[in-house]
Every structure is written in C-alpha cells, then in structure tokens.
C-alpha cells in the first residue's frame, strides 16, 4: 500500500472536521479496495451522501426560488447534482489527488474521470454527516454548490446540454457533435459511458444509468470545456 498524501489541504478546502478514518474510507475507490485484500470502500458512504446532497439542494432551490414551478425546480436540481457538476466541484478543491485508486484506474486517468470524482464528493458528504452531523453536512453542500447555483448560463446548459453544445459548436464554427456510447455491467444494473466528439476529436465523456444520461453528462462537460476556452 502506497504512502498516503497529506490530507491537510483537502480538509482546509472542505472547511469541516471529518473523522480521519471516515475520510480515508470516503477517498477509497473500489478498485483500490479490491487490490488491497477487499478492504472497505466508499460506495456505502456515497449512497448516504447522495441523499444528503439531494435534500440540501432541493430545500435551497425551493426556498430561494419561490416563483419557479416544480418542473423547473426539478431541472435545476438535476443540474446541481449531476456527475458533471460534482466533478467540477471536485476539481475545484483538488480532490483527485487524494483519491485512493487501484493501479488500473490510475493508469487510465481515473483521477480525472468525472464519475469517480462525483462519486467521491458524495462519499465525502456522507462522511461529513457521520462526523459532524446533519447541519454541518448541509452547510458543506451549500458551500460547494453555491458557485454553480450562481451561474445562470451553466444552469441553461445543464437543462438541455445536447442542444446547448450543438448551438455553441455552431457558434464556434465546429462540426455537429457525435456521440459514442458503450455499457458495462449486468443487464439489471448497466452503466453507460458516452464520448462526444467534434470533427473526429474526442472532447469529453459522461456516464450514467441510461444512454440518455451518459450523453447528457458528456455534452455538459464538453459545453463547459468549450465555454472556458472562449474566456
């Protein structure tokens, strides 16, 4: 087992005290666990964190957007809790460097994979809940999502990312986006992986429980990358 990096910078970025053992668990991807004797990994914490994230974001949207109807609220919530949004949060706090990955994931760029980054954010929220209680976990969620909540352009793209990407590509004189989708896992629990390309160049990837969600994740990540390139 390799020497663990210092977690001080990560804890500082989170702004919350998390039990060190729970933090290590939250940072342990299943690929690392399997390569080290089947030790516990972060998927149970991820399950918990997903619920905490959804509740905190739902309440925030409901209370701060009183004039917005249910359908629009649902779209905005989906944007804030998407794997692309959570991966963006993860990159902002330098989370990738701290994740414990197996050799295979390490060699294939696992530290930059949106799905792994997003899942780890949710696991950390679960660890925060168990360490500091529901109110501190809720406040952590709000601190993390606030920059995305305040970005109306990103909200628009997140609600219809494939259309937004196609419009942005046309504006930039790029080809129409093309999607390739593969799937992994058993029939009852498939995970889909999408890659979007422009002019034969792979731009971004996404994953999800359906082909549609995988393509939307890839489109939103591509839209984000192209938008930043214009700045």
- Among 24, 69, 105, 122, the one annotated catalytic: 122
Residues 34-67 as b or e (16 or more Cβ within 10 Å = b): ebeeeeebbeebbebbbebbeebbbebbeeeeee
Residue among 222, 42, 52 nearest 142 (CA): 52
Give 172-224 as a 3 state SS string.
CCCCCCEEEEEEECCHHHCEEEEEEEECCEEEEEEEECCHHHHHHHHHHHHHH
Has 70 been annotated as catalytic? no
**Is 187 labeled as ligand-binding?**
no
**Is 183 labeled as ligand-binding?**
no
Report the distance separating Cα 128 and Cα 87, nearest Å: 18
Question: DSSP for 119-170?
Answer: HHHHHHHHHHHHHH-HHHHHHHHHHHHHHHHT-HHHHHHHHSHHHHHHHHHH
| Strand, coil or helix: 231 | coil
- Among 50, 88, 105, 215, the one annotated catalytic: 50
Has 69 been annotated as catalytic? no
| Strand, coil or helix: 38 | coil
- Return the bridge partners of 195, or none: 180, 205
Query: Residue ranges for the binding site?
Result: 46, 119, 122
Q: Give the catalytic positions in this structure.
A: 50, 122
Query: Residue ranges for the binding site for Mg(2+)?
Result: 46, 119, 122
């Amino acid at each position: 087992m390799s020497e663990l990096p210092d977690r001080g910078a990560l804890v500082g970025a989170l702004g919350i005290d998390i039990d060190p053992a729970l933090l290590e668990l939250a940072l342990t991807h299943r690929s690392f666990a399997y390569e080290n004797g089947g030790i516990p990994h972060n998927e149970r914490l991820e399950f918990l964190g997903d619920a905490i994230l959804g509740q905190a974001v739902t309440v925030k949207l409901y209370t701060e957007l009183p004039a917005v109807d249910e359908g629009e609220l649902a779209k905005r919530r989906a944007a804030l809790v998407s794997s692309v949004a959570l991966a963006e949060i993860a990159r902002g706090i330098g989370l990738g460097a701290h994740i414990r990955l197996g050799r295979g994931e390490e060699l294939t760029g696992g530290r930059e994979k949106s799905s792994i980054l997003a899942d780890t954010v949710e696991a950390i929220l679960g660890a925060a809940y168990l360490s500091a209680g529901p109110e501190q976990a809720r406040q952590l969620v709000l601190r993390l999502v606030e920059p995305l909540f305040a970005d109306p352009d990103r909200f628009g793209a997140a609600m219809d990312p494939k259309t937004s990407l196609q419009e942005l590509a046309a504006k930039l004189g790029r080809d129409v986006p093309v999607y390739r989708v593969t799937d992994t896992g058993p029939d009852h629990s498939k995970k889909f992986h999408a890659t979007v390309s422009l002019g034969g160049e792979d731009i971004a990837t996404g994953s999800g429980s359906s082909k549609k969600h995988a393509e939307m994740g890839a489109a939103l990540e591509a839209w984000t990358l192209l938008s930043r390139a214009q700045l």
